[in-house]
Chains A and B, each alone.
Chain A
């Protein structure tokens, strides 16, 4: 797919569906797994899924319109409403809000040619104020630029004519470790792994104790061994590039500048398992990288690293859903369905994509595989500590002098990392995103590794002036917006918890309120269906544990009613007063 800038959207004369999604059709049939891909393309090119396109899709995919609508409604970026010529998305992540703090966006909000919507973190926390316009990131916002944007939108200037440099996402790497330093000659890592043989490389993998870099930290050799042992005529390798944890952007860098390494890691997985097809599930927010990724894949084919006879990789696009970073929800999404996490077991290693044995690993994990194969075990384990071997790439953003990418050995302390980025003044750091952990100044000696504070790569720095209560509120609202809605504790719990915490922020909390929130947090943490629900109350728990004591709690009123009599009767009272006036 060519990622040309689209805008203004062709509202009056939308191109026929067949022209936009022709490459996905086989004999005028749209395979089920291509449905989400088709929806993504229509959305990108037209700004919505129009009724005409909907009925075309229904015919091509042999699915009812009602069912397709149910899928569209699940994904944040897919819309059934007629668009305006332009559509802007602003990230709701606290860091992005702070980056936009001095900017007045009301011009755009009042501009009739553009919809201004909100979305969860778009992976641009190191880019200054930013937004997505018609699907593409526009970085380094200033008030002057906003005014220019407003003029261009008023004039309906084609997006392709807008200044190129506005759309640049510059990668700033501040500390390179072994992973970002090592350069692999195409095919080298795979060849070196092959020389060791399948059993030999698996042993190396085990000895390296490489653990998944997506956040959960599952030992990679166990995952791979299970998939190697699983029976299946077809196996798949999936790279999880749905980097959705707010504050994270390290996969963006790896996909931009280190993709050949990721590919090599995937090739090793394919050789070990006998898989002949691989996929990169790319979040919709990174659609601007699609063309570059495909060019790299083509180069890999020319170099013989990839070929359709043994192993080839294609890109699948997400459509805006944090939950699709959960591996089984991602597989559902890749099959063209709503991204609801599956019941596990069975795990993807035996029943994955299209029910076939599948390895799903994070972008950074595949990079590590290639590095391990290329530089060898000793080099790999020279970094990190016994429980957490190797290095970790961090996306550092917030109140520090140098936000960007940092690669540190596992076990580096929060303090060391703050020193590296010029964030020594911080009062706290959120490690691992909203689902991770808030580390306060007193605990800055804590090492960041799997045994202490585990991280998926997000490192958000909060300076001394920031109100951490508002940070917790922001994160709780994030989970409220991103719960998939499948299980009761998470679907309702995230809503109710955010609502109650809003009252805490208004200073209206009572002992009763705290008891309710404790009940919800404990229920969500234990009884939810998947990891999102299990961790969604963490921002509340951190806030509570850091701020609430038995004494401070007993000083609060026992109960403050939600029902506000004065507010509820304001209208009728105003009528009475009017009558009196008369």
Chain B
């Protein structure tokens, strides 16, 4: 492969992916239409690198592709059996860590975690379920916070700070006790300035932040991932459906 300085590219699973200066492997891949599994990445927000689903291999090491700067010397592998097995274990870890109630969840079919489980052929939890006790928060008129389903991706935290200029959310606790906090004196969502139209209220990849009165309005066959896999459809929220 020769290096074209004007139109640089790197190799992703043997295919050339063009990139512009400053892009990460994830950004360049998504722009080029190559899907790398992810949950905590969002193109409009600062990369986070916490879910680790977007791990790719380069130089015999794994990197989070959302924080790996693209360069023309890179040869990156993403869709290998070994990496997808690890990704499946990561998704299984997220499932056993929280309390995920797919069959009755309002977000079923729209949920990116659930879609990722199908994408990676997850058939069971694999690890011991932890059944944590987590606090629910129904104090907000329009938005319900169900921490049972939260995966600590901090998309809402970042969206509120970077997009809404509000800083409504933060994380508290440590280790497996890590949990989403509402930044109000009472700690209740209803006492924050979160508005139903905020990006932060409409970015959750799972059913942890639910907009009231919108549950079950969409028949299941019309939900985002009912007919199309997440690798083809991308990480999308229901209202972004064409």
Whether B86 is near chain A, meaning CB under 8 Å from some CB there, is yes
Cβ A516 vs Cβ B176 within 8 A:
no
Interface residues of B in 173-194 (CB under 8 A from A): 173-178, 181-185, 187, 192
CB contact between B93 and one of A69, A345, A496 (< 8 Å): that residue: A496
Whether A24 is near chain B, meaning CB under 8 Å from some CB there, is no
Specify the chain A residue showing the minimal Cβ separation from B182.
A66
Specify the chain B residue showing the minimal Cβ separation from A497.
B127
Cα A458 to Cα B37 in complex, Å, equals 40
Cα A496 to Cα B171 in complex, Å, equals 22
Cβ B184 vs Cβ A65 within 8 A:
yes
Name the B residues within 8 Å of A66 (CB-CB): 170, 172, 181-185, 187, 192
Specify the chain B residue showing the minimal Cβ separation from A499.
B128
Cβ B127 vs Cβ A496 within 8 A:
yes
A27 to chain B, nearest CB (A): 23
Name the A residues within 8 Å of B181 (CB-CB): 66-67, 69-70
Name the B residues within 8 Å of A454 (CB-CB): none
Given A67-B181, A321-B174, A487 contacting B52 (CB threshold 8 A)? yes
Interface residues of B in 146-203 (CB under 8 A from A): 151-152, 167, 170-178, 181-185, 187, 192
Name the A residues within 8 Å of B45 (CB-CB): none
Name the B residues within 8 Å of A345 (CB-CB): 69
Cβ B52 vs Cβ A67 within 8 A:
no
Name the B residues within 8 Å of A562 (CB-CB): 128
Name the B residues within 8 Å of A559 (CB-CB): none
Name the A residues within 8 Å of B62 (CB-CB): 526-527
Name the A residues within 8 Å of B192 (CB-CB): 66
Cβ A523 vs Cβ B86 within 8 A:
yes
Whether B50 is near chain A, meaning CB under 8 Å from some CB there, is yes
Whether B130 is near chain A, meaning CB under 8 Å from some CB there, is yes
Binds B, one of A178-186, A262-270, A478-486, A547-555: A478-486
Cα A58 to Cα B178 in complex, Å, equals 22
Given A526-B62, A529-B49, A64 contacting B128 (CB threshold 8 A)? no
Contact with B along A45-72 (1 / 0, CB 8 A): 0000000000100100000111101110
Cβ A485 vs Cβ B178 within 8 A:
yes
Name the A residues within 8 Å of B93 (CB-CB): 488-489, 492-493, 496
Name the A residues within 8 Å of B236 (CB-CB): none
Given A66-B183, A67-B183, A69-B187, A485 contacting B176 (CB threshold 8 A)? yes
Cβ B86 vs Cβ A485 within 8 A:
no
Cα A338 to Cα B171 in complex, Å, equals 9
Name the A residues within 8 Å of B53 (CB-CB): 488
Cβ B50 vs Cβ A526 within 8 A:
no
Whether A74 is near chain B, meaning CB under 8 Å from some CB there, is yes
Cβ A528 vs Cβ B170 within 8 A:
no
CB contact between A495 and one of B61, B126, B176 (< 8 Å): that residue: B176
Cβ B175 vs Cβ A489 within 8 A:
no
Cα A488 to Cα B172 in complex, Å, equals 16
Given A338-B171, A485-B177, A496-B96, A64 contacting B185 (CB threshold 8 A)? yes
Most buried by A among B62, B64, B182, B185: B185
Name the A residues within 8 Å of B27 (CB-CB): none
Cα A66 to Cα B130 in complex, Å, equals 26
Cβ A527 vs Cβ B86 within 8 A:
yes
Whether B28 is near chain A, meaning CB under 8 Å from some CB there, is no
Cα A500 to Cα B130 in complex, Å, equals 12
Cα A62 to Cα B184 in complex, Å, equals 12
A163 to chain B, nearest CB (A): 36
Cβ A492 vs Cβ B97 within 8 A:
yes
Whether B206 is near chain A, meaning CB under 8 Å from some CB there, is no
Whether B101 is near chain A, meaning CB under 8 Å from some CB there, is no
Cα A343 to Cα B64 in complex, Å, equals 10
Whether B89 is near chain A, meaning CB under 8 Å from some CB there, is yes
B156 to chain A, nearest CB (A): 14
Name the A residues within 8 Å of B224 (CB-CB): none
Cα A484 to Cα B172 in complex, Å, equals 11
Whether B51 is near chain A, meaning CB under 8 Å from some CB there, is yes
Cα A487 to Cα B90 in complex, Å, equals 10
Most buried by A among B62, B126, B152, B176: B176
Cα A66 to Cα B89 in complex, Å, equals 33
Whether A494 is near chain B, meaning CB under 8 Å from some CB there, is yes
Given A343-B67, A491-B97, A516 contacting B127 (CB threshold 8 A)? yes
Cα A64 to Cα B172 in complex, Å, equals 13
Name the A residues within 8 Å of B172 (CB-CB): 66, 69-71, 73-74
Which residues of A approach B to under 8 Å, CB–CB? 55, 58, 64-67, 69-71, 73-76, 321, 338, 343, 345, 480-489, 491-496, 499-500, 516, 519-520, 522-523, 526-529, 562
15 A-B pairs in the complex with CB atoms less than 8 angstroms apart: A64-B183, A70-B171, A73-B177, A74-B172, A75-B174, A486-B50, A486-B178, A489-B93, A491-B152, A516-B127, A519-B85, A519-B126, A520-B89, A523-B89, A529-B52
Question: 15 other contacts beyond A74-B173, A76-B174, with CB at 8 A cut-off?
Answer: A65-B187, A66-B192, A71-B172, A338-B171, A483-B175, A484-B174, A485-B176, A487-B50, A487-B52, A488-B151, A491-B178, A523-B90, A527-B86, A528-B52, A529-B49
Q: Which 5 pairs between the two chains have the least Cβ-Cβ distance?
A: A70-B172, A485-B178, A492-B93, A64-B183, A66-B183
Which residues of B approach A to under 8 Å, CB–CB? 47, 49-53, 55, 61-62, 64, 67, 69, 85-86, 89-90, 93-94, 96-97, 126-128, 130, 151-152, 167, 170-178, 181-185, 187, 192
